Each structure stands twice: as structure tokens, then as C-alpha cells.
Structure 1
């Protein structure tokens, strides 16, 4: 399918214009977003991380962005934020301990954190960049113990004259060993989950009582500590209650068990992102599926799963304060993903000259409709099953597409594979 002039007119060449092409697209929107979601079509591909860094630097230097959030453990990310703001710790330490999902192993992530720290060294405290993990402390096969979140919340409250519902010793007794919480067998066998125990039921009630104290005593707590410390305690609180809810869901036996777990994780992400929005404008980097506005769907082991993504929840809350740039890839030969079929969205975009583009997706939708072109879903898959193609039916629900025609391995230019 040739690239008709109207289709070319919807795209800006990122290699020719640089990341400023993204800001030109954003300025055409009705309002400046508080959160800009930049989707990731395939995790842990270094060229995408490098492009993300280019875009973030442009947004910081020319659009006043002051925060970055990534699909990584929200509690671990506190160490990264401390490093970029104050220099606490070392770069190697925060890359090792401050990320989940292998993000800390990425060279592009290392460069991002290093650049944020260098930028902050030349700015006053009130104008420094902030870093946030916004995912729950959850992996594919397990969820973390709520110990860190619960004891962090209890420690904050106990340092002030606030009537507590329990002692730290009580929490420790009910929590037991951390190993029992991260039992991977529970992912497939609900009877292996700690979430159905009487101790977890009691912990959920205590966590709820602790969280409400943050609101009931907010004037005193903020005055005695700081707004920043209070907000951190609130992060501890929503993480503790979210993890306890998730573990209880893992112990469930209803047909909706897997759907509920998916929905609970994205709901936790959304709450964290709404908190990040108060530090915005912020760039949010995560998989497309977590940032999209439409319902997420997944066919898994014979189950047709549907749930609302974090992006959909945030978009419902913020309206024009949320924008979403999906990413899409053409060929990823080192992952076994070939050139896309010409009748797919990726195939249409692959006819554009150049390799990297940002596309006005609403203008693209209008151009395709005007030309009588109805793209079909892409069905080929990568060797690692990690690429999720764009859904043509929901193209107009994005604000733009960041498209890379030929994604090379790190260190190779497009078209120069060995």
C-alpha cells in the first residue's frame, strides 16, 4: 500500500526534526497535559529507551516538564528519586535496588538517571526533577510482602501523638516471614496463597485503620513533618492496602480471579499516577497496554480477559490533562518480527520515508478514512511474544504514535544487521 500524500502529512520525521517533533504535536492539543504517557510496544529494547530519553530531555528543557515516571516498583523508586534530587547513594546502587522488571539493567535507564542527577545539580531544590516508579511491587508470578509499606506507614504515624490501632510487634506477628508472601506456586494454585489466611484478614482491617489516620490527622502531621513526608506515608498506605487486596485476590477461586488481579494492579498504578500528576507535568513510560484509553483485552489459557488500564482510569479522571502517545514497531529482526503486512497500521506507516516518526493519530485516522483504507490487525508475533500490535479500531483514542520502522539491536544502525 503506497504512502499517499495525506498520510505523509500526518507524520513528522524524528530523525530530521529531533524530539522537537513531539512537542510540536503536543502543542496542537487543546490543553497542556499534566501526564504524558509514552507507550512501549516491546519491553527492554534499548533504542526505544534511548528515544524516550531524547523526548524527556526535550520536554524538560523546552516544555517545563519536571517529573518522570516508569512502570517499576513504586517503593523501590524512592531510592532513585532521592539520588536524582540529592545525590544520596550511588548510581550503581540505585540501578540495582531502585527498579523492578529489569529496567535497572538497561543502559538507557542508566543514562536517564545519570542525566537527571546532572541536571538537578544546577537547579535549586524547588525546581529539581523528580523520579517515580508507579507500578505496584508485583511481578508476573508473585506479589511482594506488604511489610515495608505497612511498617513504613506505622513508623511515620508512631513518631507523633496519633492513637494507633496496633503495635509494630502485632504487625510483625501477623506478617510472619516474607517468604510466605512471595510463593510463586500461588500464581497458579490459590490454595498456596497466604491471602486467604485469618492473619491477612486482620492485617487488612489494621491497614485500613492506619490509612484513615493520615487524613484524620493531616493538619497535625503535615505541620509536624512536611507535606513531602506525609505524601510518602500516603504512598506506603495505598501500597499496603493494595498489596493486601491483591494477595486476597490471589487466594480467590472464582472464574474472575485472573481478571481481578489484572484490574487490581492497574488500579494501583492509576492511583500512583494521579499522585505523580501533582508533581507534573510528567512523562510516564510504560507498556502501551497500561497507558491506553480503551479496555485492555488478553486471551490467556482459554480465558477472554478484559479490564480497564491505568491510562484509561487516569484519562477518565484528568480529561485533557492526560495525553497518550502509543509506540509501534515495523520490523524487529533480532526478535523474529518481520516486516509487517502492508494492510496493517504498522505496514501503512512502514511506507513512510525515514525510520522514526511521530504521527498525529487522529489526522491519520481521517486520512485513512478519506482514502477508503481500513487497516487490519497485525497477527505476526515476535519470538519472545513481547510485541503487542496496535488495534486499528482504537487508533483515534491515542493522541499520537511514535513509530520505528526498523528496530535494530543496540549498537547497530537500521539496515546494517550482521
Structure 2
């Protein structure tokens, strides 16, 4: 009987000590609820710690650690991360969270990714993200393996002040309306469109997409037959008319970034077709704080793809072998929604990953454009699929904007001559 009493006393004492120990470990050091005390998450980032993105990531990691007791160990890999990930993941290096483009994660690393579908559903992630990215990830990988962190979107970026001065109160949605806007801009003494050779194929790719769609462009890029497609000829004829009307900025197509910089230095060029980073590039290069806006590339009468936009995203994946996938997912959500997603958008001047947050003023229109996009367009709308000829495509398209072709048929023949 005495032994039983002593044993009971010892068990009770050990229990009290254990409870006291739990209360005095991660909780007192880290604060918060200690949900993940003792958990260490290794995060490979594509940024550097000195960059605005890196600074926000570190701040979010510190706050998550304070709130949950987890330790976030960040390794700043920089832009070369995609040269390191395949071998690192295949050899199961100590990685819980990693960062790369959503396409690379879904296409190249899917075999090493944790299936986030159930956790995302429980977290209501569909209401905290852009569906166009999630749908493409699932299409490519077969399951949700990437959480969007830093979206990008392309379209027509314009100077709102020039539009106002020209009496343009509505952005154009059709090619006819766009041409009318260009005429109003020209009549007021401004130049409608900046164009650097670097983005010539992106700009014309957008126009072709509106006429024939990206899937057809991809097929033509790989197999030729440009001259046999009336839509290609129509799209090229549209650009020949556009150039002939004098709607390109002086010197365009120029050597990058000379033409887009004129939007900041001369401030008499109204528009440029590019992705959202053009706003930061112009400011960094010229110091000008322009009153930017975005509208989707205009649709073409009788065309096939009126509303999709180029869109890309840096995203986060979780290694399939992570020992703490729920903790990793919770941190990823902590970073890409709510307070820290808004801080990322404001600090790095980028589009928020959570559409319920607010875009920076200079990226006005980006959330609306992404919401309207159901199937994001690739960069150069599929022409890059032919790696052997993509540089030749670009050179031929630059000639189109230089006015070297008299008809769309001549342009199409020149594209076929590349094979």
C-alpha cells in the first residue's frame, strides 16, 4: 500500500513538472500560444536579405516565431535558386519551404512537393488567392503544390494624367477604341505607345492572342504555317496600320529601356505594353513618380481570347518529405495573406497575393485584371516554346514595328522563312 502511495505521488509530481516545463520552454522565450514550440522550418528563398522582399519575409518569420514558437531558418539563395533545387530536393536536403516561379514548382518539382489540397481547403485558401494561378498549378501538377506569393500581370500600363489631359474618361476595351484613344493622344501632342525591342514579341504576341489565341500561336511557333493563317495576317496588318498612323513613340522600337524611360524623362509618352515591374523600372531609371494605371490588352472584333492576361507568380512549395508540413503551410499562409502580404505589396511595390488586400496606387488595375483572367497567358504567348527560333521571331517582329513589311502577308511569309 505504501509503495502505491509513493508511486502515485511520484507520478503526480512528474506530471506537474512536465506541465511546468512546457510552460517555461518555447512559450516564455517565443511568446504566443507555443503551438509549434520545438519545430524548426528550413526555408530556401529566392531573395536576398537586403531586398525589400527579403526584409518582409524575415519580419514575417520573426512574427510567426513569436506567435507560435516555431523557428524559421531562412537561407537566402538568390535568383540562382532554380539551379539548386532539383538536386537538393531529390537528395532530401533539409528543406521544408522553397521559393520559385509557380510554373517551375508545378512542372519541375511536383514530384518533390507536398499535396496542399486538403490544408488549403481547410484554410479557405480559394477565397484568399487568385484562382487563375491555382487552376494552372493543378492543371500542370495534378494537385495543388504551390501557394502564390508575388503575382505579376501584363497589359497596357498608362499615364492617367495624360489620359485626363486628353479627355479620355474610359479605358479602351476593343482595338477600335484603342486606335481612337491613340488618335486623341496624338492630336493633343502626346505620343501613344512606348516600345523597346526587348518587348516587341510580347506586345505583338498579345495582339495575335486576341485574334487567334495562344494555343494556335504555340502550334505555329513549333510547326510553321504562319502564311496559311488568316489571323496572323490580320494581326500583322493591324500593326502595320498602327505604325503607319504614327502611334509609336519616337525612336521605337528602341533599345531597352530607352523607349519606356521616355515615359518618365519626357513624360509625353502615354502607354507601354509590359508586366507590372515596368512601373518600378521607369521610376528607378528616371526618378519619375507617374500616375500609373493598367487596362487589359484590348480585344479584337471576331477574335477568340478577349480577357485573359499574361500572368506569372513567384510561389512557395513545401517539400514532400517535410516532417512538419502543417507548420510549414501555416507559415506560408501567414506570409501570403493578411497583414504580411499587404506589407509585402506596400514595401516591394507589387501586387498582393491575397486579392482582398490593396494594390499599391502605381499598380492600379492589376487586381481587377487578374480576377478577370481564367487562363494566364505565357510570356510571349507561346512563341518561346520554340527555343531554337524565338530570337528569330523577335527580330522579325521588331522589323514589323520598324515598318519593314508592306502587308501582313509579307510578315507571315518572313516568319515561315525562318524554318
Tell me the TM-score normalized by structure 2: 0.26
Tell me the TM-score normalized by structure 1: 0.26
